[in-house]
């Protein structure tokens, strides 16, 4: 199982909001969609999830999106949770029907589940350590090198 693209779309959208607002632009889902290359409906879904989590504010119509809280208070984990990056089954979803007549099939969950849960927990702890503002600052540095 992969982390869904909603996670990176959310980061991209936040980058757009921060960067484009400085230029006085109203940051709409269409504008974000043109930057991400993703359908505006998907962008609106992601923005809605970020709004529900209190990370952005949005206005219907062409009102656009803006930050609702300081991104130095928001971790990558907050984004990960807000946009439901992983299903309830976890990051590593085993195939549903291992063969119970096979010794490997009977025991693969017993052997691997705890290790995979540990890997997911470690990744999530690392996401908690990294603030979104750090990613945005790096983005702004990269953009500045073009000028």
pLDDT at residue 3, rounded to an integer: 79
Q: pLDDT tens across 88-145, in order? A: 777 887 777 889 999 999 999 889 989 999 999 999 999 999 999 999 999 999 999 9
The DSSP code for 12 is H
Q: Which residue ranges form the domains of the chain, and what is each CATH number?
A: 6-144 (1.10.10.10)
Residue 48's CB: how many other CB atoms inside 10 A? Answer: 15
Q: Is the pLDDT of residue 80 over 70?
A: yes
Mean pLDDT on 20-30: 90
Percentage of residues in the chain having pLDDT higher than 70:
98
Where do the DSSP E strands lie in the chain? 56-59, 64-67
Mean pLDDT on 15-44: 94
- Residue 130 sits at the vertex; the CA angle it makes with 125 and 78, to the nearest 5 degrees, is 70
Assess contact for 65 and 56: CB atoms under 8 A.
yes
Q: What are phi and psi of 56, to 5 degrees?
A: -130, 165
Q: Is the pLDDT of residue 1 over 60?
A: no
The label of the residue with tokens 């709409």 reads 28
Higher pLDDT: 21 or 75? It is: 75
Q: What are phi and psi of 9, to 5 degrees?
A: -65, -40
Mean pLDDT on 6-14: 96
Predicted model pTM: 0.87
């Amino acid at each position: 199982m992969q982390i869904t693209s909603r996670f990176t779309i959310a980061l991209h959208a936040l980058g757009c909001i921060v960067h484009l607002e400085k230029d006085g632009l109203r940051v709409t889902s269409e504008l974000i969609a043109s930057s991400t290359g993703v359908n505006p409906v998907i962008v609106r879904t992601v923005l809605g999830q970020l709004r529900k989590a209190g990370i952005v504010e949005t206005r219907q119509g062409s009102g656009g999106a803006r930050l609702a809280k300081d991104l130095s208070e928001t971790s990558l984990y907050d984004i990960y949770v807000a946009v439901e990056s992983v299903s309830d089954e976890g990051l590593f979803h085993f195939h549903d029907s291992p063969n119970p007549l096979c010794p490997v099939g009977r025991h693969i969950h017993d052997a691997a589940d705890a290790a995979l849960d540990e890997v997911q927990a470690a990744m999530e702890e690392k996401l908690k350590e990294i603030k979104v503002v750090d990613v945005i600052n790096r983005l702004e540095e990269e953009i500045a090198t073009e000028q």
